[in-house]
Amino acid sequence: MTATANIAATVAALVRPRRAGAPRPRRPTTGVVIGITLLAIAAIAGAMAWLDGRAITGVGQLPNWVVRTFEELTDFGKSGWFLWPIGVLLLLIAIGSLRDLPNPARLVLAALAVRLAFIFVAIALPGLIVAVVKRVIGRARPLVVGDGDVLVFKPLLWRGDYASFPSGHGTTAFAAAIAIGALWPRLRPLMWTYALIIAFSRIVVTAHYPSDVIASAAVGIVGALLVRNWFAARRLGFWVDSSGGVQPWPGPSFRRTKAVARRLLSA
């Protein structure tokens, strides 16, 4: 089987229909969905009305060293920090699987490929949606308009300075926090700290308003959870328990992964 065939098989597994009779991930009730949606809308509207302008004025009074620090940190919210390495690893796994390997080694590669594919899709899909939506909405970024108006919109302008709502960096950060935390729960505190730092940095460097970041958090979290449920319904990386909860399958240990990598490198 060629590397192209391996990749095609992986894609086919991702888009295959859910097995008939398989448990479905637990879904929130209609009332919960409506309540969460209204809460998110209220938070965004409230931030636009009372917080956005004050926040930009406040960060303008921060010491230069604070702003410079966050200017360095904010770049780590770019999706490329996740997507490029994961894409390269997936390609290497597809090539490595062409080798004559014992079944245990192939199972390790398959398990790694599923987990990496999940993280890739969970980050890329919400990010792609936001990249389009923010340009359709066309909200001006902070300080673009000199009169201090925080509610300037030019829909369909397709310019970077009118692509403020929602934040792309924020979407990536919160989607990554959900995706990586779903696979490795012990990393959740670290990933949530990362997401909050990236979100705050977007305000400090005056690239976004607080309401932009709130909206991006909602999109990133919901998008990653929907991707997780899609994988779980197909028993890819996750499984659905009897109550509808989504649980990660145990992954290959670091020792086994290292052994397979050493075998591939020495072949």
pLDDT tens digits, one per residue of 142-170: 999 878 899 999 999 999 999 999 999 99
Number of domains in the chain: 1
Residue 147, in any domain of the structure: yes
**Segments forming the whole domain that contains residue 143:** 35-266
Residue 9, in any domain of the structure: no
Residue 250, in any domain of the structure: yes
| Residue 72: how many other CB atoms lie within 10 Å | 10
What does the alpha-carbon distance between residue 162 and residue 155 come to, in Å, rounded to a whole number? 8
Q: How confident is the model at residue 86 (pLDDT cuts 50, 70, 90)?
A: very high
- CATH number reported for the structural domain that contains residue 56 in this entry: 1.20.144
Residue 12, in any domain of the structure: no
Residue 240, pLDDT score: 92
Residue 163, in any domain of the structure: yes
pLDDT tens digits, one per residue of 168-221: 999 999 999 999 999 999 999 999 999 999 999 999 999 999 999 999 999 999
Residue 10, pLDDT score: 61
Residue 175, in any domain of the structure: yes
Residue 258, in any domain of the structure: yes
Whether 182 and 191 have beta carbons less than 8 Å apart is answered as no
Residue 84, in any domain of the structure: yes
Residue 18, pLDDT score: 65
Single out the residue of 219, 36, 194 nearest to residue 132, CA to CA. Answer: 219
Q: pTM for this one?
A: 0.91
User: Would the pLDDT of 20 be above 90?
Assistant: no
| Residue 250: how many other CB atoms lie within 10 Å | 7
